[in-house]
Amino acid sequence: MEVMSGKNNSCCLNNGDVVEKMKSLGRLTCRKIWKVGKEDKRRVIHSLKVGISLSLVSLLYLMEPLFKGIGENAIWAVMTVVVVLEFTTGATLYKGLNRGLGTLLAGLLAFLIELIANESRHIFHAAFIGTAVFLVGAVTTYMRFFSHIKKNYDYGVVIFLLTFNLITVSSYRVDSVLKIAHERFYTITIGCGICLLMSLFIFPIWSGEDLHLSTVAKFDGLAKSIEACINEYFSNDNINQQEEKVRKNSMEMEDPIYKGYKAVLDSKSSDETLALYASWEPRYLRNCSWQQYVKLGTVLRHFGYTIVALHGCLQTEIKTPQSVRVLFKDPCNRLAREVTKTLKELSDSIRNRRKYCPEIPSTHVHEALQDLIDALKSQPRLFLSTNSNTNILLALATLPTRQKSGKDVLVSLPSVNNDDPARLGLSHDLMLKEGDKKILRPTLSKNGITSLEFLEALPFAAFASLLVEIVARLDLVVEQVVELGRVAKFKEYSHDDVVINVSCDNNPRVESEFPSSQAAAD
Amino acid sequence: MEVMSGKNNSCCLNNGDVVEKMKSLGRLTCRKIWKVGKEDKRRVIHSLKVGISLSLVSLLYLMEPLFKGIGENAIWAVMTVVVVLEFTTGATLYKGLNRGLGTLLAGLLAFLIELIANESRHIFHAAFIGTAVFLVGAVTTYMRFFSHIKKNYDYGVVIFLLTFNLITVSSYRVDSVLKIAHERFYTITIGCGICLLMSLFIFPIWSGEDLHLSTVAKFDGLAKSIEACINEYFSNDNINQQEEKVRKNSMEMEDPIYKGYKAVLDSKSSDETLALYASWEPRYLRNCSWQQYVKLGTVLRHFGYTIVALHGCLQTEIKTPQSVRVLFKDPCNRLAREVTKTLKELSDSIRNRRKYCPEIPSTHVHEALQDLIDALKSQPRLFLSTNSNTNILLALATLPTRQKSGKDVLVSLPSVNNDDPARLGLSHDLMLKEGDKKILRPTLSKNGITSLEFLEALPFAAFASLLVEIVARLDLVVEQVVELGRVAKFKEYSHDDVVINVSCDNNPRVESEFPSSQAAAD
């Protein structure tokens, strides 16, 4: 009670505050309303379409001549419009046709049961209807658990059950059940007709188009993620470390890398829904390519998982020294650029519904991959031992060199079995401390050789290995895109198209890739 | 036409075949029906529940005394049961309460509009109703695009729109609209009541329980995936290669690794739906922990992505020689076992709704991680050069050793800049050819030193690095599980519980982990 009175007091005292708060809440709501519409203008159009359809269908009731013809059952047309008119044409058709089919089948079954029931006496009649309702209810509900029916006809089954029950049960009290069923079907058809008219001919919104564009957007997102990953990995280390700590705290941050692949990872259910609705759309019926979009989505998701792992490499706390990363910067950069370019070309070819010609770019990717592999191969070997006498063996391997060359070709090795606990575990920091760096740098500049522990090489190796993995996955993606071009009957690839597209995009990199790639690498 | 008659002929000729086919189709259908029920027995129960509910609600119509009391509007109760009674209690409550609330609000708004409209003359009345229908339709539809409303009240908004239109439009022709609305609400309440009774008290199926169990299953699946990954990586190479090719062709295969993490990757939408329904379930209302389950699901998905990358390491075509992998088999095995064990403990603690005590196992994991890091550190350094004079420098580094020791400590190095194109690119095979192996093996047994190219070390490094990454992600998972224990008010951790649980599971590894881990490693 005290708390409440206290609240009241504060309310009275801070009356101005409350008004202010209400105002800001109002502003916030207005901004939210504006934002929802701005994100996708089709939402506003759809809302207006629903309003107009409802007004139209209400005329059946409101206008005297129309009402005289149809009567009370006009209410079913209103109901149909509310339930059937969905955002996209595909969804409307899915619901409309399911509703129509469900109603028709239910009507037929109800009529059949009615025929049998009418043969019997009154009391048995009720029992018969009760049993039929139970059986049909149980069987229909069980059918909804079949994955194929669940996926394609769930709404139709519900409507079947609904209509069957409405007709069967009311037939017990009403004699003219056939007339009612007929009228109801008639008005439902009017309702469906208005919905189809609205969704097919007035600013139609196609699920197929949505699926198509979302697939294109996925490619662009993935390309951006890879670009951002590579840039961050080879950018200045100090900045990275700061950014990293912020990023780690919340995975959901607006990190460009995360933003790029996020939409891909969680696309499964939305892809499947869009493909289901798209498969009902007449405009695309002949193509039957929607399942291919879903397949492509699956492959893209797997591609995305590899980028997540690549992103993980940036966030790991054991770091490969910047000096080592720089050695492989050019080939890694080039490979990433080629992969990105391929992704953009794939996205372009899908966007323009043009068949993708896999030969040219994939050669470049594999050239870049070979460059990276060459770079990795050009590095001398790694020596691994199975026992802990490494120090001795190492001494055997390195000391004579130093004695012989006298030039200190190799930097001095700190004790390899250094077990300083502060340097172990996840809180492992840069292995190459500041002091070491000072010794290392002049040596590097003279002879260009650096040594590093296997542990330090690990993150870079993972990074490089994931890049290689990305190329392997890219091949699978290209395969699916080519298959998509074939199944969806995209127009043939022609070299002119590409040039035109490229000049439209103001992207000179596709034409003269080597000079620009060199420039970017520098 | 010819084709058709041809078909008919073949039909006549192969009449026996058709009968046989029909029979086999029948058998297939029966088996399918049986399988759907066997997979989840609750499906059968739910179907029977729907049948019984429908029969019960039909009694309102079929029994004379009940029908006299309620009349024609009883049909709305039937409709409500069909639409509202869902598989889980949460879904039923969500739909039932949304339907109730939507109907109530729509009734109130319709009553308000009716009051204003009644003041006006007949022709204006119709225009007023038309405008109201348009405005309410458009605004309500627009509201459905707000993510919060879409998520929690979408069904309620549809019902609101439906009811509002039905009442407003019919009010134009019927005078006693308030009486109709009242009766309709009354029968809808009866329908909802039967649904709630059925779903709350007769074999209730809880969404919360489903979400809880699916979370537990995710942990088990991930643990199995990691186990299978490690076993495959360190198992015999030859068998792997054969398996690999089969696996690559279809990602969807029934591979134990893929099976383990598959459910986790695609869990987003099902998790969110279950959490939404669970949040309506009274049994768990006080806990409010469902959003925490969703958060845990997100972290587990990110954990899963790392396992996907680990799985990718098994499928890569550049292989680290088995001889090198064996060097790190024990620490990797131990780390994986500790991670698996932690996952199983986490799953146990959630299964038993017991708080998780993160200290003990996480120490073991970090000990195992340190072991792996030690093993990696105990390996000598890697020498990297920035120019291509590597051969000369390498010669400087290795030749004197051989001269001095005279024991051929290091295996002979093939030319490092070997550019044989067949060995490059993705079709890169095992670097260590059969011939090399024969030279290598005896040397290994003598001195336990092996050398490998950086490129060969890559896949193993990636594997090890991902294992380290998994530990880092595991910490995030543990954090979320501890948070879940706190939010969901799980019972306190007690050491006795763990021992009892372990002995129940017949899993002796938890009690005496070191000896068994050693044994397994050997």
- Convert the pLDDT of each residue in A34-77 to its tens digit: 888 888 888 999 999 999 999 988 888 887 777 777 777 788 88
B200 CA: distance to closest CA in chain A (Å): 18
A503 CA: distance to closest CA in chain B (Å): 32
Alpha helices in A86-176 (DSSP H): 89-118, 122-143, 147-171
pLDDT at A80 over 80: yes
DSSP code of residue B146 = S
User: Quick one: pLDDT at residue A230?
Assistant: 86
A386: closest chain B residue by CA: B448
Query: Cβ A134–B52 below 8 Å, yes or no?
Result: yes
User: Quick one: pLDDT at residue A237?
Assistant: 54
Between the ranges A283-292, A433-442, A457-466, where is the mean pLDDT highest? Answer: A457-466
For residue A384, list chain B residues with Cβ-Cβ distance below 8 A.
324, 327, 379-380, 449-452
Query: Cβ B377–A454 below 8 Å, yes or no?
Result: yes
B127 CA: distance to closest CA in chain A (Å): 9
Q: How far apart are CA A253 and CA B96, in angstroms?
A: 37
Burial A426-440 (b: 16+ CB within 10 A, else e): eebebbbeeeeeeeb
pLDDT at B229 over 60: yes
pLDDT band at B286; cut points 50, 70, 90: low
pLDDT at A107 over 60: yes
B285 vs B371, higher pLDDT: B371
User: Quick one: pLDDT at residue B138?
Assistant: 93
H or E stretch at B243: helix B237-249
pLDDT band at A455; cut points 50, 70, 90: low
CB B472 within 8 A of CB B322: no
Alpha helices in B352-453 (DSSP H): 359-377, 390-405, 434-447
The SS3 assignment for A235 reads coil
pLDDT at A395 over 90: no
| A108-112, A318-322, A423-427, B190-194: least confidently modelled range | A423-427
User: Quick one: pLDDT at residue A362?
Assistant: 66
- Token look-up 């008290």 returns B201
B462 vs B36, higher pLDDT: B36
B187 vs B319, higher pLDDT: B187
Interacting residues of A337 by C-beta distance below 8 A, sequence separation 6+: A230, A368, A517, A520
pLDDT at A519 over 60: no
**Could you count the other beta carbons within 10 Å of the beta carbon of residue B43?**
18
Strand-pair category, B449-452 with A382-385: antiparallel
Q: How far apart are CA B195 and CA B185, in angstroms?
A: 15
Mean per-residue pLDDT, B361-388:
67
Q: How far apart are CA A513 and CA A502, in angstroms?
A: 12
ipTM over 0.90 threshold:
no
Beta bridge partners of residue B449, listed in sequence order: A385
DSSP state letters, A209-221: HHHHHHHHHHHHH
Each residue of A184-212: pLDDT tens digit? 778 888 888 899 888 888 888 888 888 88
Distance, CA of B445 to chain centre:
46
User: Quick one: pLDDT at residue A18?
Assistant: 86
Mean per-residue pLDDT, B325-350:
85
User: Quick one: pLDDT at residue A48?
Assistant: 92
User: Quick one: pLDDT at residue B53?
Assistant: 92
| A483-492, B172-181, B384-393: least confidently modelled range | B384-393
H or E stretch at A384: strand A382-385
pLDDT band at B189; cut points 50, 70, 90: confident
Mean pLDDT estimate for chain A: 72
pLDDT band at B170; cut points 50, 70, 90: confident
Backbone phi and psi for residue B287, each to the nearest 5 degrees, phi listed first: -75, -40
DSSP code of residue A387 = S
User: Quick one: pLDDT at residue B52?
Assistant: 92
Q: How far apart are CA B60 and CA B70, in angstroms?
A: 8
Query: Cβ A130–B381 below 8 Å, yes or no?
Result: no
Between the ranges A492-506, B9-23, B465-479, where is the mean pLDDT highest? Answer: B465-479
Query: Cβ B135–A51 below 8 Å, yes or no?
Result: yes
Percent of chain A with pLDDT over 90: 8
The distance in angstroms from the start CA to the end CA of chain B is: 73
CA distances from A502 to A177, A484, A510 (A): 66, 22, 7
Query: Cβ B469–A316 below 8 Å, yes or no?
Result: yes
pLDDT at A157 over 90: yes
Mean pLDDT estimate for chain B: 72
DSSP state letters, B445-487: HHH-EEEE-HHHHHHHHHHHHHHHHHHHHHHHHHHHHHHHHHH
Mean per-residue pLDDT, A13-24:
80
B310: closest chain A residue by CA: A309
Give the CA angle between residues B163, A90, A280 to the nearest 5°: 125
Give the CA angle between residues A130, B197, B107 to the nearest 5°: 90
DSSP code of residue B425 = S
Alpha helices in B71-206 (DSSP H): 74-84, 89-118, 122-143, 147-171, 177-201
CA distances from B2 to A152, B6, B7, B12, B398 (A): 34, 6, 8, 15, 82
User: Quick one: pLDDT at residue B372?
Assistant: 80
- Token look-up 């009541």 returns B193
For residue B126, list chain A residues with Cβ-Cβ distance below 8 A.
62-63
- Token look-up 């009883």 returns B74
Q: How far apart are CA B485 and CA B479, in angstroms?
A: 10
A interface test, pick of B54, B195, B432 with most A CB neighbours within 10 Å:
B54
pLDDT at A330 over 80: yes
For residue A453, list chain B residues with Cβ-Cβ distance below 8 A.
376-377, 379, 381-382
Residue type, B9: N
DSSP code of residue B384 = E
Query: Cβ B457–A454 below 8 Å, yes or no?
Result: yes
Query: Cβ B397–A380 below 8 Å, yes or no?
Result: yes
pTM greater than the 0.95 cutoff: no
Query: Cβ A126–B62 below 8 Å, yes or no?
Result: yes
Query: Cβ A455–B373 below 8 Å, yes or no?
Result: yes
Each residue of B122-166: pLDDT tens digit? 677 888 888 899 999 999 999 999 988 888 898 999 999 998 988
Q: How far apart are CA B492 and CA B489, in angstroms?
A: 9
DSSP code of residue B16 = H
Option in A376, A410, A417 nearest B454 (CB): A376
Quote the tokens at residue B51: 């049948």
For residue A255, list chain B residues with Cβ-Cβ distance below 8 A.
none
For residue B68, list chain A residues with Cβ-Cβ distance below 8 A.
none
Option in B51, B130, B426 nearest A138 (CB): B51
B146: closest chain A residue by CA: A36
pLDDT at A9 over 80: no
Q: How far apart are CA B265 and CA B257, in angstroms?
A: 13
Long-range contacts of B406-414 (CB under 8 A, 24+ apart): B407/B446, B407/B447, B408/B443, B409/A393, B409/A396, B409/A397, B409/B447, B409/B449, B410/A383, B410/A397, B410/B449, B410/B451, B411/B436, B411/B439, B411/B440, B411/B443, B411/B450, B411/B451, B412/B439, B413/A381, B413/B451
Query: Cβ A393–B380 below 8 Å, yes or no?
Result: yes
A509 CA: distance to closest CA in chain B (Å): 24
User: Quick one: pLDDT at residue A315?
Assistant: 72
User: Quick one: pLDDT at residue B421?
Assistant: 32
User: Quick one: pLDDT at residue A496?
Assistant: 53
B515 CA: distance to closest CA in chain A (Å): 21
Q: How far apart are CA A332 and CA A221, in angstroms?
A: 20
For residue A331, list chain B residues with Cβ-Cβ distance below 8 A.
none
